[in-house]
Chain A
Amino acid sequence: MKNTDAISQQIARVLTIGATLVVVLCMLIVLAVSIYIGRESTRERAQATARVLATSAEYALSFRDARRGNEMLEVFRDVPDVIAIRILLQNQQALATLDNKRDATVAASSWTQLLRSLFEATSSVPVMSAAEPLGYIEVTASETSAVRMGATLILVSIALVLLFASLGRPVARVLGNRLSRPLAALSSAIREVRRTRDYKLRMPSSELKEVQRLSEDFNALLGVIQSQSGELREFNQKLSKLAFYDNLTGAANRALVLDRLNQLLASRSDEVAAFALLAIDLDGFKQLNDRLGHDRGDKFLQAMTEKCMAEMRPSDTFARMGGDEFLVVLRGVREFEEVLPVARRLLNAVHETNTTAAGEPKCTASIGIAIYPTDARRIDDLMKFADRAMYAAKGSGGNRVSHAGSDTQSPLSVRGT
């Protein structure tokens, strides 16, 4: 199985990374803005300091008096925001230098020093005598409060990132459960459909738009499957009917009756398997067909089949073997005497199918009977005996029932009423 993460884990990861990115980005933006503002403010202060010094640096620069220059700068020794001051000659030579940075480096940690350098600004003001430039005062300053603010900002950001990292998992679990619950319900419903194959089931609705859409789509899919499944069932039923039933009369066809005969023979108990086979052939059907047409012939076959089937039990089989030949299987009978009433009723049913119109040809039936297992034990033999009896009945004038046992060559005939 593919290694997958739970939704809550994914959310926790996204939340933590997203929150960290947002915090870091915000921190960087605020830091950049504060550095910009701090540097501008620092530059202004440095410039103001340089201007003050420039007013009194004329002598030192004129006489290149380093001692006087250093005395001037000493005033700014240990001033927190002043990092360095230089008095420069016109040719950039440094006449006097004050460096507060060295002390700060010792006292402050390296990252504070780095922050301080970010907020540093240097301003240079020329020292003029009338319109004549003598040199420059260069002041490098830093905004202590801004450095402190920057350090605080970074610490707060780190704390926020840690907070998000620690809170991410429980918050994500709550959110994940909220998201995954409808998905779990959907998954459960899908499994139920798969297990029961009941396509009438429908997915539960959800408050989440995406899950609801998924649920609706799946329901639509189930509807399609349900509809196609019904059509398929109907089609299968039709196919089955075409395969095992006669298309004209609705009686069983040759395949079905042979299948049932085989089933009966496969039964171990002779008591259960005992049955009679009745081969039926219509007398005068050809004349009826020729004179009245195939439509009338077909209608006669349909009506006759209906009447004959009405005379039989549900467990019996009435099959059309082709043309005007039929085969009947009567289950649970052993003696000719048991079959005879049924055969007579069938003769009557065929007879009654004829219309009363004068001059129209009439149809009757000739029925040959073979009984399992007394007459034969094989289907071929039984059908042969039944056919032989049927032809004997037909030979005797028709509208007659004949029984041809395996041990007798002359069939026993009974004429219909």
Chain B
Amino acid sequence: MTPTAPSPSTRAAARRSRLAIVTLLGLVASVAINAQPRAVSPMSEADWIIAVARFVEWPNTERRDLIVCSPPAGSALMLDNKFVRGLRVVEKRVKKLADAKSCHVLALFSERSPGRWIESTRGLPILTIGYSREFCIYGGIVCIVSADDGTASRHRINLETLARAGLYARNELLTPNTAAERGGPGK
């Protein structure tokens, strides 16, 4: 058979096909690039408070607000107008130990000596939360610690002080934290 030269219409069709394929590949590539998972941003102190509060129940169910207190040291948590399980979060700065008794959550992230604050809330339904393993040893309920591999933060629960405070934690909160801390003022 004698080979024949492609007609102009055939060449135009081939050019259009190539253009369509290139466009399609471009679209696929852009979609693939967009689909690349972005790195999850680290949790802020406010995120920790909100996350933990979702899995904790306070004995008084009549309240409408969740009062999150923090000592004057450190910057504001920026929790106002957030909601946790339908409760509006109200951020409050407490200067005196006695003022902390009206709080639902006492955030002691920036406090150098959290022990006295923990002691003042002992037996009250106040969820204390702070950094380091020592925080739980002092009797704090939730301590934020670095993960074993050092790449992320994880939380630990002091089950004794949790129970003594009369708070109820949902199973999900407890399951990954089998090594609950013991000791300290909560003992």
Interface residues of A (CB under 8 A from B): 56, 58-59, 62-66, 68, 86, 89, 92-95, 97, 129-132
* B58 close to chain A: CB less than 8 A: no
- For the complex with contacts A63-B43, A94-B40, 5 further pairs of A-B residues with Cβ separation under 8 Å are A62-B50, A86-B37, A94-B38, A129-B54, A130-B86
Shortest beta-carbon distance, B186 to chain A, in Å?
23
Interface residues of B (CB under 8 A from A): 37-41, 43, 47, 50-51, 54-55, 83-86, 155, 172-173, 176
User: Which residue of chain B lies nearest to A60 when distances are taken between CB atoms in the complex?
Assistant: B172
A129 to B86, CA, bound (A): 9
Given known contacts A59-B55, A59-B172, A131 and B40 CB-to-CB distance under 8 angstroms = no
A95 to B43, CA, bound (A): 13
* Inter-chain contacts of B84 with A (CB < 8 A): 129-130, 132
A131 to B43, CA, bound (A): 21
Total residue contacts A-B, CB cutoff 8 A: 45
Q: Are B38 and A131 in contact (CB under 8 A)?
A: no
Q: Are A129 and B176 in contact (CB under 8 A)?
A: no
A58 to B172, CA, bound (A): 9
* Inter-chain contacts of A86 with B (CB < 8 A): 37
Q: Are B37 and A58 in contact (CB under 8 A)?
A: no
Q: Are B176 and A93 in contact (CB under 8 A)?
A: no
* Inter-chain contacts of A58 with B (CB < 8 A): 54, 172
Q: Are A97 and B55 in contact (CB under 8 A)?
A: no
Shortest beta-carbon distance, A186 to chain B, in Å?
39
Cβ-neighbour of B85 out of A63, A97, A130 (below 8 A): A130
A64 to B50, CA, bound (A): 12
Shortest beta-carbon distance, A117 to chain B, in Å?
11
* Inter-chain contacts of B172 with A (CB < 8 A): 56, 58-59
A227 to B54, CA, bound (A): 110
Cβ-neighbour of B37 out of A56, A65, A94 (below 8 A): A94
Interface secondary structure of A, over-half rule: mixed
Q: Are A93 and B41 in contact (CB under 8 A)?
A: yes
Shortest beta-carbon distance, B63 to chain A, in Å?
14
Contact sample, A vs B, 25 pairs, CB 8 Å cutoff: A58-B54, A59-B55, A59-B172, A59-B173, A62-B54, A63-B155, A64-B40, A64-B47, A65-B176, A66-B40, A86-B37, A92-B38, A93-B38, A93-B39, A93-B40, A94-B38, A94-B40, A95-B40, A129-B54, A129-B85, A130-B83, A130-B85, A131-B86, A132-B84, A132-B85
A64 to B153, CA, bound (A): 10
Q: Are B37 and A93 in contact (CB under 8 A)?
A: yes
* Inter-chain contacts of B39 with A (CB < 8 A): 93
* Inter-chain contacts of B37 with A (CB < 8 A): 86, 93-94, 97
- 5 closest A-B pairs by beta carbon, nearest first, are A94-B37, A59-B172, A62-B51, A130-B85, A130-B86
A130 to B55, CA, bound (A): 11
Given known contacts A129-B85, A131-B86, A64 and B43 CB-to-CB distance under 8 angstroms = yes
Residue of A93, A129, A131 with most chain B CB atoms under a 10 A cut-off: A129
Shortest beta-carbon distance, B31 to chain A, in Å?
12
Shortest beta-carbon distance, B135 to chain A, in Å?
17
User: Which residue of chain B lies nearest to A57 when distances are taken between CB atoms in the complex?
Assistant: B172
User: Which residue of chain A lies nearest to B53 when distances are taken between CB atoms in the complex?
Assistant: A62
Q: Are B86 and A63 in contact (CB under 8 A)?
A: no
